[in-house]
Amino acid sequence: MKLLIMIAAMIFASSSCSDAQRPSSGTSTMPDEKILIVYLSRTNNTKVVAEMIRDNVGGTLVPLELENPYPENYEATVKQVVKENEKEFLPPLKTKIDDIKKYDVVFLGFPTWDMQIPPPMKSFLSQYNFKGKTVIPFNTHAGYGAGNSFQTVRQLCRECKILDGFSTEGGIEKEGVLLAIKDSRKKEVQTELKNWLRKIKMVE
């Protein structure tokens, strides 16, 4: 009898562990190990959205980090980003993806900077071969939308299947509003996000 109880406990523990690795909400249409979610986030709004995506579809979540981080001062960062865009400079990345070939779907998350895709995300897209992959952009902004960032993703991933992107309002750093996607606003974004994931057929 004791042996049977031990076996039942082991089975329950194994089942619980497995469930913890699955998406917590929704049913993903892709195997978890085939999905990569890469995001750049300065005020954590894009990070929150990236985590929501992971909770719905599973996958590997990777923050994009630079070898030389941007200044903490907002105005200094704005000036640096403008110069990088003008010179088409691609900042070196600290983040490395060991085997990008194993991923079929790549979510790309970033804020709108200078009405464009941030230079670090351009660096990431230039470093890896995305041919044949499904690439899905998502974006946070300060009220002005995604700018031309989604078009840039299409230009840099010409041999990919690009799905419709997701864009939602986040913080307004220049006004001191940093993490905005929280509390009631977070619930609103969760609903928007789930509807989007269903629309692009990433969840059932």
Q: Which CATH number belongs to the domain containing residue 163 in this structure? A: 3.40.50.360
* Predicted pLDDT of residue 23: 56
* Predicted pLDDT of residue 29: 85
* Predicted pLDDT of residue 153: 97
Q: What is the pTM for the complete model shown?
A: 0.87
* Predicted pLDDT of residue 2: 40
HSE toward the beta carbon, residue 183, CA cutoff 13 A: 2
Confirm whether 42 is domain-assigned: yes
Confirm whether 48 is domain-assigned: yes
Confirm whether 6 is domain-assigned: no
Q: How many domains, the chain? A: 1
**pLDDT digits (tens), the chain, 204 positions:** 443 333 333 333 333 332 334 455 568 888 888 999 999 999 999 999 999 999 999 999 999 999 999 999 999 999 999 999 999 999 999 999 999 999 999 999 999 999 999 999 999 999 999 999 999 999 999 999 999 999 999 999 999 999 999 999 999 999 999 999 999 999 999 999 999 999 999 999
* Predicted pLDDT of residue 22: 46
CA distances to 18, 19, 126, 191, 199 from 7, rounded to whole Å, are: 17, 19, 51, 41, 43
Domain that holds residue 194: 27-199
Confirm whether 47 is domain-assigned: yes
* Predicted pLDDT of residue 30: 84
Confirm whether 113 is domain-assigned: yes
* Predicted pLDDT of residue 32: 85
In DSSP terms, which residues pair with 109 in a beta bridge?
Answer: 39, 138
Confirm whether 127 is domain-assigned: yes
Confirm whether 155 is domain-assigned: yes
Confirm whether 12 is domain-assigned: no
